[in-house]
Amino acid sequence: MRLNGLKGKLRTESRRYEDYVLIPSDNIYAGTATMTIRGIGNFTGTDTTTFTILSTELTDSNVTVSDIEDVTYNKSAQEPEPDVYLDGVLLTKDVDYTLSYENNTNTGTATVIITGIDNCTGEIRKNFTIKPKSGNMFIIILLDDWQ
pLDDT over 70 for what percent of the chain? 80
Of the two residues 19 and 17, the one the predictor is more confident about is: 19
Can you name the residues that pair with 45 across neighbouring β-strands?
none
Of the two residues 65 and 7, the one the predictor is more confident about is: 65
In the sheet with 71-72, reading across from the earlier edge strand, the strands are: 71-72, 123-131, 108-116, 97-102
What letter does residue 34 receive in the DSSP assignment?
E
Stretch among 9-13, 16-20, 92-96 having the lowest mean pLDDT: 9-13
Report pTM.
0.69
Label residues 95-133 b or e (16+ Cβ within 10 Å = b).
ebbebeeeebeeeeebebebebeebbbbebebebebeee
- Give the SS3 label for residue 129: strand
Residue 5 binned pLDDT confidence (cut-offs 50, 70, 90): very low
Can you name the residues that pair with 99 across neighbouring β-strands?
114
Question: What rounded mean pLDDT belongs to the chain?
Answer: 85
